[in-house]
Amino acid sequence: MKNLFYAIALMFLFVNSNYAQTPPVAVNDTFVVSLENDSIKVLRGSLIGNDFDVDGNAKIVDTVLYN
């Protein structure tokens, strides 16, 4: 008769839920444009360059259309 050996491994994972996400801070931006052009292009770096996120998360700007 063969001896059978069974090993059971238990793993417990504890997650620290005390960490709170802090929202990013957006600072107002001001641009001077000419009224002769039909469209305005603003570089993303100049739009979010003065904004910050305490948690260090990436700041993303999507296309914004305004009429």
Average pLDDT, the chain: 73
Q: pLDDT for 10-35, tens place per residue?
A: 767 666 666 677 888 888 887 776 66
Other CB atoms within a 10 A radius of the CB of residue 26 amount to 13
User: Domain residues of the chain, as ranges?
Assistant: 25-67
Q: CA torsion, points 45, 22, 58, 54, in degrees to nearest 10?
A: 60
The whole-number average pLDDT for the span 52-64 is 80
Residue with tokens 């700007």: 61
**Nearest partner of 63 among 36, 49, 42, judged by Cα:** 42
Cβ–Cβ under 8 Å, residues 59 and 53: yes
Cβ–Cβ under 8 Å, residues 29 and 61: no
Whether 1 shows a pLDDT value over 60: the answer reads no
